[in-house]
Amino acid sequence: MMNKGNENMNAVIEEIVEFIKRSNHQIMIRIGGHGGSGKSTFCQELIKCLDPKDYNMISTDTYIVNSNLRKHTKAKYMYNGVEHEAKVTACMPEAHNVDILERDIRALHNGIDIMTIETPWQQSERLDATKKVTILEGMTTTFIDSKWVDLSIYIYTDNETELKRRFDRDVHVRGIDIEFLKASQDERRIQFELFMHPLLENFDIVIDHSNDLFKILKNQLN
């Protein structure tokens, strides 16, 4: 039996697919939010409903500044009346090459094919600017100017859910020390609350994915 969370996700995806079908022009869709919020899962479910000939897919993790550089940078900010100084995490705009992503979006808008950024795990590929749909998925999309996209989807979780997902991934799979993870999570969450979460106002669809419940808090497609 399908749970309520899956029902809600499928309902939103159906609305997005209908929005695409109704549109008589090319569509740029972004799926943003913090790490471990469920962006990639949502994106994979969405593209199952689309014809591969009709869409481009850009995973924007390649637009995040390399962690080997970020580990040498620190930011100062106030939180609840206390000054903090900590490493710049991906919850801050300074951790992202936003201008480069926006340049690539402009190129596609102007009918110019682009090459995706090659990584050790994925070869570069050409994206066809004539395709009807381009989907941008990843944290970097949260910080781009909303004027470049036609539909914005923001997904987030509470701290406990994010920590559990990071624990499952980073401790069990990547072997990261659990105490280090907990300490880094506290500061990461503060940066999320200060620099990323307020941007949800710029999104058309807002989803709270805490505890895998998939609560739809805002949906301007309705």
Higher pLDDT, 167 or 14: 14
Q: What is the mean pLDDT of residues 151-175?
A: 81
Task: Name the nearest CA neighbour of 139 among 104, 204, 94.
Answer: 94
CA distance 72 to 146: 30
CA distance 74 to 65: 14
| The CATH fold of domain 4-63+97-219 | Rossmann fold (3.40.50)
pLDDT in tens, 45-63: 999 999 999 999 999 999 9
pLDDT in tens, 107-145: 999 999 999 999 888 899 999 999 999 999 999 999 999
Task: Name the nearest CA neighbour of 203 among 213, 218, 191, 193.
Answer: 218
pTM equals 0.92
- Contact (Cβ atoms closer than 8 angstroms) between residue 13 and residue 135: no
How many beta carbons lie within 10 A of that of residue 55, not counting itself?
A: 19
What would the 3-class secondary structure string for 139-191 be? HHHHHCCHHHCCEEEEEECCHHHHHHHHHHHHHCCCCCCHHHHHHHHHHHHHH
Domain ranges of the chain: 4-63+97-219
Q: What is the mean pLDDT of residues 11-37?
A: 96
Mean pLDDT score of the chain, rounded to an integer? Answer: 92
Which pLDDT score is estimated for 23? 95
